[in-house]
């Protein structure tokens, strides 16, 4: 039996979405046990409980030797408020787990990767059951956790890789949570930002990861309409800042804020083949 704990470091998970995921898992993955921490359903303003509640839920599940993996329930802002203190409280049981999510949860994935704590995977959240095609996204994650052969993002090669939401990565760089991305291929995606904001984010991020092996651009979706055209598209922005900073632009990536969001285990080929 694979036991997977669900926690929400940012905003709360709706119970009806948790129930849909539980039902799917029970019907199709009888050897997977989902453990939803009660914290997932708490609410304190924007957040799934106050900072101590969110931090302690993550630490409790990460340090539980009976839990095999941590699956982040939702994104939404909040992980950076608990990540530093949470890292200091992790014990030996946290080292053997997989940690999976994306968006704001990338803050914790990055901090864990920096500390070489467990195996980090960019992939769908529990709450992505709400999206068109969401059930297939959930199945993809559950197959991965169950140790089945699951297609990963098709562009991965023998180099170390990471994947982040662009805003999340921009907030990580320069902090004591930021991993060393020297010689890594960095996949980025974004949602609901003006193109000028995407440009600003690329300006900031590329200053801090000049040693990266390259950048691949995921989907930049739900771009708001500005009062005037920016003059180039997202790929043009990525190419511009990569050329400006001497980082290789390596093309597109199959990640984004959608149900097609591909799995990207952090690190090298060896780490990607270890569940």
**What pLDDT score does 273 carry?**
52
In the chain, the domains with their CATH numbers are: 2-153 (3.40.50.10740), 161-252 (3.50.30.60)
Instruction: Grade residue 272 by pLDDT with cuts at 50, 70 and 90.
Output: low
Q: Is the pLDDT of residue 270 over 80?
A: no
Report the share of the chain in percent with pLDDT over 70.
97
Note whether 25 and 6 are within 8 A (CB). no
Instruction: Grade residue 243 by pLDDT with cuts at 50, 70 and 90.
Output: very high
DSSP 164-221: EEHHHHHHHTTSTTPPP-TT-EEEEEEES--HHHHHHHHHHHHHH-TTSSEEEEEEEE
Q: Is the pLDDT of residue 274 over 50?
A: no
Q: Is the pLDDT of residue 88 over 50?
A: yes
**C-alpha dihedral sign at 25, 11, 275, 92:** negative
- Mean pLDDT of the 114-127 span: 98
- Mean pLDDT of the 111-140 span: 98
* 149-178 pLDDT, tens digit each: 999 999 999 999 999 999 999 999 999 999
């Amino acid at each position: 039996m694979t036991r997977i704990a669900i926690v929400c470091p940012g905003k709360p998970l709706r119970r009806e979405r948790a129930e849909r995921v539980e039902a799917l898992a029970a019907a199709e993955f009888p050897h997977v046990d989902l453990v939803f921490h009660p914290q997932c359903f708490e609410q304190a303003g924007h957040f799934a409980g106050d900072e101590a509640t969110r931090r302690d839920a993550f630490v409790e599940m990460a340090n539980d030797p009976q839990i095999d993996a941590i699956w982040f329930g939702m994104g939404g802002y909040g992980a950076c408020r608990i990540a530093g203190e949470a890292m200091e409280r992790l014990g030996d049981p946290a080292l053997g787990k997989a940690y999976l999510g994306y968006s704001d949860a990338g803050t914790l994935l990055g901090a864990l990767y920096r500390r070489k704590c467990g195996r980090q995977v960019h992939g769908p959240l529990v709450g992505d059951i709400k999206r068109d095609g969401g059930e297939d996204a959930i199945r993809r994650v559950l197959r991965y956790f169950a140790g089945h052969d699951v297609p990963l993002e098709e562009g991965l090669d023998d180099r170390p890789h990471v994947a982040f939401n662009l805003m999340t990565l921009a907030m990580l760089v320069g902090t004591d949570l930021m991993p060393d991305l020297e010689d890594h291929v960095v996949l980025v995606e974004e949602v609901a930002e003006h193109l000028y904001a995407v440009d600003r984010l690329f300006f900031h991020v590329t200053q801090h990861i000049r040693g990266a092996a390259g950048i691949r651009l995921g989907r930049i979706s739900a771009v708001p309409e500005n009062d005037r055209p920016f003059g180039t598209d997202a790929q043009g922005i990525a190419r511009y800042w990569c050329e400006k900073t001497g980082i290789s632009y390596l093309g597109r990536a199959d990640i984004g804020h959608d149900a097609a969001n591909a799995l990207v285990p952090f690190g090298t080929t060896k780490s990607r083949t270890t569940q």
